[in-house]
Amino acid sequence: MYSYRPWLDDEYAFRGRDAIVGSWLDDPDDPEGWDAHYEPYAVDGDRAVAVGWSRYAAAGDEPQRTFHNGYLLRFAPDGRCTEFREFYMEEGR
């Protein structure tokens, strides 16, 4: 499960690889238009928290934007991620 607006509802929660990939392809980012850095913050058994930032270059009417991110992750015994919840806040807002 991948959820990028977990404070809303299931409209922004996707289950299964095909649904997750499809959600990314609906509104793709320009591969050359962003940079990011994330790192683990805490790990406990099958759960982890990662933090970092994503920076998007200015494009059209949009100025450069930086988001600070927090991710809640849960892993299956084989190491695959089974839950990924994304929280973000735009810098300067």
In the predicted structure, residue 43 carries a pLDDT above the cut 80: yes
Mean pLDDT of 25-47: 90
pLDDT band at 8 (very low <50, low <70, confident <90, very high): low
Mean pLDDT of 33-39: 94
In the predicted structure, residue 38 carries a pLDDT above the cut 90: yes
In the predicted structure, residue 28 carries a pLDDT above the cut 90: no
pTM: 0.79
Give pLDDT, residue 51: 98
Domains of the chain: 2-90 (3.10.450.50)
What's the helix, strand, coil split of the chain in %, to 5? Answer: 15, 50, 35
End-to-end CA distance of the chain: 28
Question: CA-CA distances (angstroms) from residue 76 to 6, 38, 51, 59, 83?
Answer: 21, 21, 21, 39, 9
Give pLDDT, residue 80: 92
- Rounded to whole angstroms, the Cα distance separating 13 from 11 reads 6
Matching residue, tokens 């494009």? 59
Query: Are the beta carbons of 33 and 56 closer than 8 angstroms?
Result: yes
Mean pLDDT of 42-46: 97
